[in-house]
Structures are given as structure tokens and as C-alpha cells.
């Protein structure tokens, strides 16, 4: 990383800030780590370092609301430091860390530890989720009040669904009392047990155990009713089916406190990406039929989906070098988050402003964070990108420790040219 400067003027850039609707050519002045000024006609103050953006897009640093960091307990897969490298390369400056680590983030000291580990990198802000249940085991409730006081932004059991209805009802009620939401992995655990792919013709042809797509909608329907019952706020992560999205759309229209995100695999890939038992494409939830992928794309455009998250799940090579049914689920996504999202812009499905909104101020709002904006006085967390710059995803050459990308070989348009954290350039 370069040495921090007190002042830098980033000029000749397209300023794009969905939080304020700003979209114009101009410049942005950083002083002492915060955004001091921005606009079309900024002068050059004395003693300011000047950076020529050469017409590229300057937007807020991306906010990724679903990241598995590997710490504590899974450092052989990823560490906070290695994830920070990958995040910087992807234009991401804030990440929300899942709590289903070893041990789980069900202790206030661990919340504080993760926050400080993020600060130590100088590259990312880590916003930890608190475990909804002790050990993320879905049984005894965690100490919501203490976790929230320590800095937990919401409550979830991470990649494990809260399957018990009574437990989920209690979690929603408790979280509402602390002004927080419950983030659910929407998949009925009993229907999903032992499954490896989406149930259907492809699963039958490959001889793989299937998970019915309805497993997602069943849990979504239950939790919408529980949110209505308790007045709590439920957020559904990595939604992947049209049926679940229709339920969420209807619930929003009724005024239920419901929100959701999806991840790039669910709008860029379908189940055929499994190919000949390709374990890097084994994800949780599993890749879906093409009709579901198209439903996710439509929901990005119509506002049903509130945010896009990387759903970064680092896995060791040995986790994936197994028969498909036994291989671990999950794919890395930090470095590819922006590029794959921009594919929807290039195909005309969403605007560039909408894409950046889904990656910045929208997830920040859900998390109660002040990140994701170019407002004056805000920390200078910035992403400079060229929406047209072509590159190819090559496993083995991705930044970070883990390399298990479902997008291996994918040609993308849209590359990060520079990332700034609190005014310090950390990538590019």
C-alpha cells in the first residue's frame, strides 16, 4: 500500500453516487481521510496530490453484506488479511462477516475482535453479524443485547437456516427490540438434507441427490408470516428462485418488514454450469433452472431484490477435490462481485446507477452503516472503475487465499482501477 496523503484530488472522473443521485463528470477532493468536496468545477488547492481518473467512474467503495472471512477457525481457507486483499481488488471497502465460524461469533469479545482485525488491515471495515443462536446450532438464543452493544449489525446463523419456527419467532422478536434484523439462509433444512443440486432433470441425469427448489419458498413463506406475527424484520440472503421472490414481492406490498439480497451466481449462472460434475459450481443454495435465473434478473430491475452480495465462501482445494455429492458447497466472490454484476448492465437489464446502488448505499442502509456514499464529510472509501475494461477470471490468479470461483474462465467487462480506504490508496 502507498503511504497516506493528507490531501489528494481525483479529477477527470465520472462521479456516480446512487445515495444522492449524482452522475456527472468532475473531481473529488480528499483531505485527512474524508471527502472534503466534489463537483464539476473544483480548483486545485496548494499542496494537493493530483490523480487523473482519465474519465473512469468514481463511486463509493462497495459494501458487501455477506462474506465468510475464515477467521476464527478457518484460517487455512482464508484470513481477514487475505480477504481484505481480494476485497480491495474488487473495489470493496466494507464487508459484513458471517458468524458461523469456529468458534461462532456468539460472544461480544469476538465481535470486537473481528472489527479490530478489519481495522488492522487498513483496507476494509468489518461489520460482524452476531450469531442468532449459541454456536449457530439453532437451539439456545444468543445474547442479542450484548452482541449488539459490541457492534453486531444484525443476527443470523450464517449458512445454517434457523429451521425451528419457535426459535425463529423468538429471534425476530428479540432482534426487533434492539433495532436489528434477522438474516435467514432460506432453505428448509429437512428438505435440503443430503442434497447436492437442484432437484430436476439434470440432477436425475447426473445421478446426484436433489434439493427441491420449493425448499427456499417454504422457509420464506414461514418467515414472512413470523415477521408479520412479531413485527420483526427478516432479511433473506442469496435468494435464488422465482417462487420465493414472488412471495417477497407480495409481502413488501403488504408492508411486511422484509428485505432480500442475491449473489452473482444466481443471476449469471444456471444449473448447467455444473457441467461434468464441476465442484467449483457446487453452491448453497444450489444453482437453479434458467427460469429462476431470469426471475432473479427481473427482481434486480423491479426493486424486489434490495442488494447484491458476493456470498464469498472460501474453500480449500481439498474441500472441492471430492466426488460432487461429498464436495463442500461455496464459491469465492470478492474479486468478481463488480464485474459479474456489470454484465447485467451491459445486457441492458439494469442501469449502471442501479447496479452501483445494489452494491453500495442499499446494503449499507440495510446494515445501518453510513458507508456507501460520496457525501461530503464521509470517509473517503472509494472505487474507481472502468465499466468497459475486459478481463477473464482465472482460478489460481485471483487475489486472496481461496480460489474456488464458479466463474473460472468467465470473460467479464468492468474492472476496478483503484480502491481508496479512508483516503489511502489500497489497490491499483
* Rounded Cα gap, residues 192 and 204, in angstroms: 16
Which cell is 407 given? 466463474
Look at phi and psi of residue 69 and say left if phi exceeds 0, alpha if psi is from -120 to 50, else beta: alpha
Cell numbers 480548483: residue = 43
Helical ranges in 52-143 per DSSP H: 80-89, 108-121
The H-or-E segment that residue 245 falls in is: helix 242-253
* Spatial contact of 224 and 187, defined as CB atoms under 8 Å apart: no
* Rounded Cα gap, residues 230 and 211, in angstroms: 30
* Spatial contact of 155 and 132, defined as CB atoms under 8 Å apart: yes
Q: Which residues neighbour 67 within 8 Å (Cβ) at sequence distance 6 or greater?
A: 83, 87, 95, 96, 97, 98, 309, 310, 312, 334
Residue ranges of E strands in 18-132: 22-31, 34-39, 49-52, 57-60, 62-67, 92-97, 125-128, 130-131
Q: Is the dihedral of CA 96, 99, 102, 103 positive or negative?
A: positive
What backbone torsions phi and psi does residue 209 show, to the nearest 5 degrees? -65, 135
Give how far the C-alpha of residue 266 lies from the chain's centroid of Cα atoms, to the nearest Å: 13
Catalytic residues, which ones?
A: 311
The H-or-E segment that residue 294 falls in is: helix 290-302
Pairing of strands 49-52, 7-17: parallel
* Rounded Cα gap, residues 171 and 234, in angstroms: 10
Which cell is 378 given? 464521509
* Rounded Cα gap, residues 279 and 185, in angstroms: 21
Give how far the C-alpha of residue 267 lies from the chain's centroid of Cα atoms, to the nearest Å: 14
* Rounded Cα gap, residues 19 and 14, in angstroms: 15
Amino acid at each position: 500500500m502507498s503511504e497516506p496523503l493528507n490531501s489528494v484530488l481525483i479529477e477527470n472522473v465520472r462521479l456516480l453516487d446512487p445515495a444522492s443521485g449524482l452522475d456527472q463528470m468532475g473531481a473529488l477532493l480528499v483531505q485527512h481521510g474524508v471527502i472534503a468536496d466534489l463537483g464539476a468545477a473544483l480548483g486545485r488547492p496548494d499542496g494537493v496530490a493530483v490523480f487523473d481518473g482519465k474519465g473512469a467512474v468514481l463511486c463509493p467503495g462497495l459494501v458487501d453484506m455477506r462474506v465468510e472471512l475464515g477467521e476464527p477457525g478457518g484460517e487455512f481457507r482464508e484470513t481477514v488479511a487475505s480477504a481484505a486483499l481480494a476485497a480491495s481488488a474488487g473495489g470493496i471497502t466494507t464487508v459484513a462477516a458471517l458468524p458461523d465460524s469456529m468458534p461462532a461469533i456468539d460472544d461480544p469479545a469476538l465481535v470486537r475482535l473481528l472489527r479490530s482485525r478489519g481495522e488492522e488491515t487498513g483496507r476494509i471495515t468489518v461489520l460482524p453479524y452476531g450469531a442468532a443462536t449459541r454456536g449457530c446450532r439453532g437451539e439456545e438464543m444468543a445474547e442479542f443485547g450484548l452482541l449488539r452493544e459490541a457492534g453486531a449489525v444484525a443476527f443470523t446463523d450464517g449458512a445454517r437456516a434457523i429451521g425451528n419456527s419457535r426459535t425463529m419467532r423468538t429471534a425476530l422478536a428479540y432482534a426487533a427490540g434492539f433495532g436489528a434484523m434477522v438474516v435467514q439462509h432460506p432453505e428448509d433444512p429437512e428438505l435440503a438434507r443430503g442434497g447436492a443440486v437442484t432437484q430436476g432433470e439434470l440432477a436425475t441425469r447426473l445421478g446426484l441427490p436433489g434439493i427441491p427448489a420449493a425448499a427456499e419458498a417454504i422457509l420464506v413463506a414461514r418467515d414472512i408470516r413470523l415477521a408479520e406475527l412479531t413485527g420483526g424484520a427478516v432479511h433473506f440472503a442469496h435468494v435464488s428462485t422465482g417462487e420465493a421472490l414472488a412471495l417477497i414481492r407480495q409481502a413488501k406490498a403488504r408492508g411486511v418488514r422484509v428485505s432480500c439480497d442475491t449473489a452473482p451466481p444466481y443471476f449469471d449462472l444456471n444449473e448447467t454450469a455444473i457441467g461434468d460434475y464441476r465442484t467449483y459450481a457446487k453452491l448453497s443454495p444450489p444453482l437453479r433452472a434458467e427460469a429462476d435465473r431470469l426471475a432473479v434478473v427481473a427482481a434486480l430491475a423491479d426493486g424486489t431484490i434490495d442488494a447484491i452480495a458476493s456470498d464469498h465462501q472460501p474453500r480449500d482445494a481439498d474441500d472441492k477435490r471430492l466426488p460432487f455429492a461429498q464436495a463442500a458447497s461455496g464459491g469465492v466472490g470478492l474479486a468478481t462481485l463488480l464485474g459479474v454484476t456489470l454484465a447485467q448492465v451491459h445486457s441492458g437489464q439494469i442501469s449502471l446507477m442501479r447496479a452501483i446502488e445494489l452494491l453500495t448505499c442499499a446494503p449499507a442502509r440495510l446494515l445501518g452503516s453510513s458507508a456507501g456514499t460520496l457525501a461530503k464529510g464521509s470517509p473517503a472509501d472509494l472505487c474507481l472503475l472502468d465499466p468497459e475494461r475486459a478481463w477473464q477470471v482465472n482460478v489460481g490468479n485471483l487475489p486472496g487465499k481461496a480460489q474456488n470461483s464458479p466463474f473460472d474462465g468467465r470473460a467479464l467487462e468492468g474492472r476496478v482501477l483503484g480502491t481508496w480506504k479512508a483516503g489511502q490508496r489500497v489497490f491499483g
